[in-house]
Amino acid sequence: MVIRPREKDRIIHSIARFLSGLKPKASNRYYFELFKYCSEIKKIKVPNDNTCFFCGKKFSKKSTLVLHISKKHEKEIYDLCLGKYET
């Protein structure tokens, strides 16, 4: 799978918003839903208590959770898109 650099940041941020329980920013769909290789992500059960899906760390704000996921777990998000990450 080849992701253009411009799309990569948008996809990662979109998935981070989904995993933190936030709604899409601009439309009714998340940006990652435009790509068929990321379709398995919607099947993930997302924790609803500001907890990181990957490491279990708790946060007081959803915005800090989004930043944490997009910065610290970029590799895991990429593996989720490829279907290599075991949930």
What mean pLDDT is predicted for residues 59-64?
94
pLDDT of residue 47: 77
Kindly state whether residue 31 falls inside one of the protein's structural domains. Answer: yes
What mean pLDDT is predicted for residues 18-27?
86
Kindly state whether residue 87 falls inside one of the protein's structural domains. Answer: no
Kindly state whether residue 9 falls inside one of the protein's structural domains. Answer: yes
Q: Is 61 left (phi over 0), alpha (psi -120 to 50) or beta?
A: beta
Report yes or no: 30 and 9 within 8 Å, Cβ to Cβ: no
Kindly state whether residue 32 falls inside one of the protein's structural domains. Answer: yes
Number of structural domains (the chain) is: 1
Kindly state whether residue 23 falls inside one of the protein's structural domains. Answer: yes
pLDDT at 5 over 60: yes
Q: Which domain holds residue 12?
A: 5-82
Kindly state whether residue 20 falls inside one of the protein's structural domains. Answer: yes
